[in-house]
Amino acid sequence: MANILVVGADSHLLREIRDSLNDSEYNLTAVSNSQTAIDEIEKNNYNLILLNYNHNNSDLVNEINLDLTIILMIKANEKSEVLELLKSRSICYVVKDNCFPQFLSVVVNRNIDLQETQSTYYESLFKDSGQILLLINPTTGKIADANTTAVNFYGWSKEELLNKTIQEINTLTKAEVFAEMKAAKEEDRNYFQFEHRLAGDQLKDVEVYSGPIMINGQKLLYSMIYDITERKQLKEELEGQEEKYKVLFETTGTATIIVEEDTTISLANQQMVELSGYSKRQLEGKKSWTDFVAYQEELEKLKSYHQARRSEGEEKPPNTYEFHFKDRFGTVKNVLINIRILPNQKQSIASMNDITELKVKEEKLNQNIEQARKLHKSFLPQAVIDLEEIVISSYYSPAEKLGGDFYNFQQIENKLIFYLADVSGHGLDGAILNISIKEKINNVIRKESAAVTGEDILRRVYQEYQKDDFPEDYFVCLQLGILDLDTMRLQYNNVGAHIPPLLISRRGKVNEILKPNLPISTVVNKDLIDFNDQVNSVQDGDKLLLITDGLFEESRAGEMFGEKRLVELLKEYYPLSAEMLVQVIREEFRKFIGQKDKYNTSNDDITLVVLEHKGKNRLEKEFASQLCLLEEIVAEIINFLKDHTQQIMDIQMGLHEMLANAVEHGNQLNEEKKVKIKVAVTDDYLRIIIQDEGTGFDHEEKLNNSLEDSGCQERGRGIIITKQLFDQLQYNKKGNQVCLVKFRGDKNG
């Protein structure tokens, strides 16, 4: 039966209400004024309020609990006034006119039916829920209802549970409950944490979410309860682990910080305090790690690392790098940092070592090594040596600042003695060993002079090496040649160098001239080494290439540079001068390894030496940078070449273009600057080398253009035209020397 409270109705109106409503369905209670109504509502549960509206009781609308339904009984002229009340809460009204009894019955029945429907709905949700649910009388604390899940959780029967108060279940004292409620308010959370007692005095940690609910006109407390016992135990275990890791964090021995995604330092250890000069209180939550980066250019790079480390991109930044750290007092320190993202988080952990003193020592060591490098380099011959019959071009790049390869050339009377040594190790020890080998070879040459043989030199080097008692893991690979400049007879010896010298002859034929054998070492008996030489004859235009194994054995992505790649280059570019052939090999190797740094980025020293027999059929000219001299110079060269080719007109046109470029664009018509010309004729090709004394230019761009792309620029057009007239056109790296090649015989027809 629904309980209805009637407020402010006189006897006549109260009789109309009773006549309108069925007494068997509704229990009516009548009070005369607002205060009495409020007292009654607090003591008893009502489904709805019937209020005879007037100016004296209008405030009652706002004082009554929002969960109670109010039906206003008004006069027809009070509609506009009541409409203002409708804006503040859900209210129904019935006009006291002739239809009042009928309308009142309809409105009351509809509201009661709606409450019963809602009650049934909530009751269904309550009973069937898998969540622990209790309904509690907020005044007495008595448990009004409990669902099946709650009964199973607490372990009492439903009857036993409904005979208990919440105070019997909650183990906290009244003061402790009040403290928890205060803490929840301060922490702005909508739940409480209690300890509940279950049947058998078992204790469980719970989170309780509570709120008021009106059921069948009764105001109750609706409580959802979550068992957090395991979660709390896990939290305590994690806190124990956290304490353990905190100890580790503090005792890493390096300055260590936790960095948030926004770069804020959230945690710092004592070593960071010492490194930075700030206290933990000043660091944690207040400083960004970017505050300690000394230089702007480093800051931008490190910020990009920070962002990339948190992105989904494939390219990840380095985890370890150096940067300049500025402390609280403005002191800049060299710091090595190692930084990692914490698993499944956006935070990162960074540990930093102050390597300032180490960098000072490293710099001093580098200075010593740099001095040794310069000394080692000073022992090497110049890159290009131009003798009467032979031109030698060389290139050397150490794997470190100081390498383990060494080569030298020495002319004694009519003999050219040259050698290439590859010793074990790099750095200072390799350089010292090379200097020792050089002195041993020089001593033998000084003693024997022009009568010396390669076998004499190698045997003596072996003997002296054994006397020096080098460590067993040291060894020397040595290629040595003696070329008779009169007869062009080459004696060649090789101990240990498993990349034999290559002889490039007519038509680009490439031959190995001597197979390797064992190296010089304290663990290799001299009887096991073949010191005998091999004799070859060097023809006009032939080239001899000496290389160490660093070139062949360098690999990228599992692919070696290899002999095949080199041989293909030699077959294509063999007509070029020794200097340009070295340049072509260097550039191909640089492309292969992607070298960009000052020093060699390969794993071993790279050494190239090319000796070229100039041949007897050659012409060399030099003239001042005057355009008026071109016709005369071109005529002389064409006269020299006319009997060696059927395409003299092509050569004449291209030669004139390149000489004009050298005079006008290279030397800028400066008559004090010279243009040098070297013409060589072999059975295979004609070659013209033109060199000016200018600053050079970007020849690659010009060579890659077509004739149409070159526009009206004379120099560009001249180069493109000449490239079409000759079989090969190659510039040196600087761009002030060009090599023109025209094949003879079968290649040109």
Q: Which two tokens stand for residue 345?
A: 């988080």
Residue 666 amino acid letter: G
Sequence-ordered strand ranges (E) for 285-345: 320-326, 332-341
Q: What is the pLDDT of residue 617?
A: 93
pLDDT at 401: 61
- The amino acid occupying position 493 is N
Instruction: Determine, yes or no, domain membership for 359.
Output: no
Tokens of 35: 């205060």
In a domain, 742, yes or no: yes
Kindly tell me if the per-residue pLDDT of 181 is higher than 80. Answer: no
What's the average model confidence in pLDDT over 6-10? Answer: 90
Give the pLDDT confidence score for residue 542 in this predicted structure: 95
Which DSSP letter does residue 490 get? E
Distance, CA of 438 to CA of 406 (rounded, Å) = 8
Percent of the chain with pLDDT over 70: 93
CA distances for 571 relative to 512, 531, 575, angstroms:
14, 31, 9
pLDDT value at 610 more than 80: yes
| 362 domain residue, yes or no | no
Q: Is the pLDDT of residue 749 over 50?
A: no
Q: Which of 467-476, 513-522, 689-698 has the highest mean pLDDT?
A: 689-698
Please report which confidence band the pLDDT of residue 331 belongs to, taking 50, 70 and 90 as the band edges.
very high
Q: Model confidence over 489-519: pLDDT tens digits?
A: 999 999 888 888 999 998 899 998 877 788 8
Judgement on whether residues 487 and 386 belong to the same structural domain of the protein: yes
Pair 287, 192 in one domain: no
Look at residue 235 and tell me if it is in a domain: no
Tokens of 260: 């948030």
- pLDDT reported for residue 660: 95
Number of domains in the chain: 5
pLDDT at position 87: 64
Q: How far apart are CA 168 and CA 141, in angstroms?
A: 9
Separation between Cα atoms, residue 471 and residue 468, nearest integer Å: 9
Q: What is the pLDDT of residue 748?
A: 44
Which of 279, 273, 278, 270 has its CA nearest to residue 246? 270
- pLDDT, averaged across the chain: 86
Q: Residue 694: is its pLDDT beyond 90?
A: yes
CATH number at residue 555: 3.60.40.10
Widest distance between CA atoms in the chain: 151
Q: How confident is the model at residue 120 (pLDDT cuts 50, 70, 90)?
A: low
pLDDT at position 88 over 70: no
321 and 249 fall within a common domain: yes
pLDDT: which is higher, 111 or 680:
680
CB 354 within 8 Å of CB 412: no
In the sheet that holds 218-227, the strands lie side by side as: 143-146, 132-136, 218-227, 203-215, 192-197
Give the Cα separation of 255 and 271 in Å (integer): 4
Beta bridge partners of 193: 207
More confident residue, 241 or 302: 302
pLDDT digits (tens, 9 = 90+) for 522-532: 888 888 888 88
Mean pLDDT of 702-727: 73
The Cα–Cα gap between 607 and 593 comes to 15
- Name the region of 356 (left: φ>0; alpha: ψ -120 to 50; beta: rest): alpha
Exposure on the CB side of residue 5, measured as CA atoms within 13 A: 25
User: Are residues 526 and 402 part of one domain?
Assistant: yes
Q: Looking at the structure, tell me whether residues 221 and 267 fall in a common domain.
A: no
Domain shared by 565 and 583, yes or no? yes
Coil, strand, or helix at residue 626? coil
Residues 89 and 61 sit within 8 Å (Cβ to Cβ): yes
Q: Which of 1, 10, 93 is nearest to 46 (CA)?
A: 1
Asked if residue 683 has pLDDT above 50, the reply is yes
Closest-CA residue to 495 (of 543, 452, 443, 437): 437
Residues of the domain holding 71:
2-124
CATH code of the domain in which 183 resides: 3.30.450.20
Query: Which amino acid, 197?
Result: R
pLDDT score at 90? 62
Same domain (yes/no): 104, 136: no
Q: Which two tokens stand for residue 103?
A: 């309308």
CB 409 within 8 A of CB 438: no
Measured distance CA(348)–CA(290) in Å, rounded? 14
Highest mean pLDDT among 160-174, 355-369, 702-716: 160-174
Question: Distances in Å between the alpha carbon of 401 and those of 135, 406, 407, 588, 594?
Answer: 83, 14, 17, 22, 18
What band does 356 get if pLDDT is binned at 50, 70 and 90?
very high
pLDDT at residue 158 above 70? yes
Interatomic CA distance for residues 421 and 404, integer angstroms: 8
Buried b (16+ CB within 10 A) or exposed e, 550-561: bbbebeeeeeeb
Residues 6+ apart with CB under 8 A from 457: 419, 441, 444, 445, 480, 493
Residue 64 in any domain: the answer is yes
> Would you say how long the chain is, in residues?
749
pLDDT of residue 255: 92
Question: Among 227, 253, 282, which residue terminates a domain?
Answer: 227
Query: Rounded distance, CA 31 to CA 46, Å?
Result: 13
> Does residue 223 register a pLDDT over 80?
yes
User: Quick one: average pLDDT of 33-44?
Assistant: 85
Query: Is the model's pLDDT at 326 over the cut of 80?
Result: yes
Which of 107, 124, 141 lies at the terminal end of a domain, its last residue?
124
**DSSP letter at 628?**
G
Taking residue 490's Cβ as centre, other Cβ atoms within 10 Å add up to: 23
Whether residues 426 and 501 fall in one domain: yes
For residue 730, what are the contacts with CB-CB under 8 A and spacing of at least 6?
573, 576, 580, 584, 738, 739, 741
- Do 14 and 118 fall within a single domain? yes
Tally: H helices and E strands in the chain: 23, 33
Q: What is the CATH number of the domain that holds 726?
A: 3.30.565.10
- Dig out the tokens for 476 from the structure: 């020397």
Last residue of some domain: 124, 143, 178?
Answer: 124
Q: 259: Cβ–Cβ under 8 A, 6 or more apart, which residues?
A: 265, 266, 289, 306, 339, 347, 348, 349, 350
- pLDDT (0 to 100) of residue 213: 76
450 Cβ contact partners less than 8 Å away, ≥ 6 residues apart: 412, 413, 414, 415
Give CA–CA dist 611/581, Å, rounded.
11
Q: Supply φ then ψ for residue 456, to 5 degrees.
A: -60, -45
Are 396 and 537 in a shared domain?
yes
Compare 409 and 425 and report the one with higher pLDDT.
409
528 part of a folded domain? yes
Is residue 312 a part of any domain in this protein? yes
Two tokens, residue 277: 């000069």
State the CATH number of the domain containing residue 63. 3.40.50.2300
* Residues 385 and 526 placed together within one structural domain of the fold: yes
By CB neighbour count within 10 A (0-12 exposed, 13-18 middle, 19+ buried), where does 657 fall? buried
Residue 466 sits in the same domain as residue 479? yes
Picking from 324, 356, 334, 64, the residue whose alpha carbon sits closest to that of residue 214 is 64
**What pLDDT was estimated at residue 507?**
85
559-608 pLDDT, tens digit each: 899 999 999 999 999 999 999 999 999 999 988 888 654 445 567 788 99
Residue 327 banded pLDDT, cuts 50, 70, 90: very high
Q: What is the mean pLDDT of residues 441-469?
A: 88
The Cα 534–Cα 513 span in angstroms is: 8
The predicted model gives 648-661 an average pLDDT of 95
Q: How far is residue 380 CA from its own chain's centroid?
A: 41
Average pLDDT of span 258-262: 91
pLDDT at site 351: 93
Rounded CA gap, 323 and 333, in Å?
A: 8
Residue 358 located in a structural domain: no
Nearest partner of 289 among 279, 277, 302, judged by Cα? 302
C-alpha distances in angstroms, 158 versus 203, 686, 736, 739?
A: 19, 113, 103, 105
User: 582, 639 in Cβ contact below 8 A?
Assistant: no
